[in-house]
Structure 1
């Protein structure tokens, strides 16, 4: 199973207002192992970043002036993600920017260029309801050091997210990923509802275990609600 953990930095919040991608960071994970085969690109957006965005990523117009434009690296990016599951935190944000960039060069949307797209933020909200689930918050919760993260960067954030993703999905192989390693994998982000329960072994209690359980219940006396539920109902006199 090949997964690409990815992140972008942009000139602003909305591609419909002309904002562009200025950095792409991709981390390859194969069979839950970070391979070191990464893709990192800076892009010339042909515009300035909004002050608020610049304060987040620190990528100035002067720094980006000699970098390639998206159309010059699109083929390299699309070849890298081909057939893989893409995983991003708040994926809808990154996807809308990629869709806008791909539209400019006459390409189809991102979802048609890869195997599937998974939002790690949605998984985190399911695992930790009611809690903060930003990348920084998840790093703190899962014991992943992000002390070196002073500014946002697409590659750095992808590296952190890869660690977070592997930590969040640890131990789920038997429940959320197809049991047959030789068959097609549904990916770690697959909904629990698609799980085939017929693959689980059913272990029945032994005679000794049943006897020990019965003895324990008997010792509870009148406080044992299970005894009351198991008792046959009394039939009222006619």
Structure 2
């Protein structure tokens, strides 16, 4: 497969919203968005999105979206209830995200049995495309490539820094970054991995029942 064009790779864009790394191993997932990318383009018709009940009250923090309130999250499913869906959608695929290792570190902590094919990072790719740029945030890059309005049209009512919106943004950004990186045709799966793959570093030292994804 690796000699084939990159669009043949099984890709799913992922974004999580969590309580923050200062919670260390107690960091909770508050929201998750997944966008499959058949032929290298986001397919919102088959996307998945869910809020997640963290099982405790969350203090207000600047990086937590105002929409992720304790009252709203209290009505959401617990992580173990959505874990089978996540496993079905993410096992064996390449997970795409912006600074994807941060999301993967949190997800793999809660779902130790999950085994994706690898991680593809649009942040790493953006740094290769724009080495002299001072900022590589997803929002800034979407504005650079005039993609902000496209993301909003794909995710009606969504907003930046929410899981489904950011996952769709990373999915739209990837082809434009690849186009900027090289005029080589075809750009293969091997090329994509060389330019944008980051280590999985799967965590396996957490084994409480609520942290294991059950099939």
Aligned-pair CA distance for 1:151: 5.0
Can you give the 5+ residue segments of structure 1 that lack an aligned partner in the other structure? Answer: 178-184, 193-238
Tell which structure's C-alpha radius of gyration is larger.
1
Taking structure 2 as the reference length, the TM-score comes to: 0.73
1:42 and 1:139 mapped to 2: Cα distance?
24
Alignment check: 8 A CA contact 1:5 1:158 kept = yes
CA distance in 1, matches of 2:183, 2:13: 18
Q: Quote the residue 1:24 is aligned against.
A: 32
- Return the alpha-carbon distance in structure 2 between the equivalents of residues 69 and 116 of structure 1: 26
- Cα distance, 1:172–1:49 mapped onto 2, change above 3 Å: farther
Structure 2 distance, partners of 1:8, 1:129, is 26
Seen in structure 2, the aligned counterparts of structure 1 residues 140 and 85 have a Cα distance that, compared at 3 Å, is: same
Q: Equivalent residues in 2 for 1:142-157 (5 A)?
A: 142-146=145-149, 152-157=161-166
- 1:9 maps to which of 1, 13, 17: 17
- Range that drifts further, 148-157 or 37-46: 148-157
Q: In the alignment, which residue of structure 2 is the partner of 1:84?
A: 93
Q: Aligned in 2, Cα 1:88/1:14: closer, same or farther, shift over 3 Å? A: farther
Q: Distance in 1 between matches of 2:131 and 2:160?
A: 27
Higher relative contact order (CA 8 A, sep 6+): 2
Runs of 5+ unmatched residues, structure 2: 1-8, 153-157, 196-215
Partner of 2:4: none
Aligned length: 177
**Aligned runs of 1:20-59 on 2, under 5 Å?**
20-35=28-43, 36-53=45-62, 55-59=64-68
**Match status 1:136 vs 2:136:** no
Distance, in Å, in 2 between the alignment partners of 1:81 and 1:72 is 16
Q: TM-score, normalised by structure 1?
A: 0.67
* Cα-to-partner distance string for 1:84-127 (whole Å, 9 max, x where unaligned): 1101111121111112212xxxx33x4xx111111111111111
RMSD, aligned CA: 2.3
Any conservation in 2 of the 1:7–1:155 contact (CA below 8 Å)?
yes
Secondary structure in structure 2 of the residue aligned to 1:68: coil
Residue matched to 1:234:
none
Please say if residues 8 and 154 of structure 1, whose CA atoms lie closer than 8 Å, have aligned partners that are also in contact: yes
Retained in 2: the 8 A contact 1:58–1:151?
Answer: no
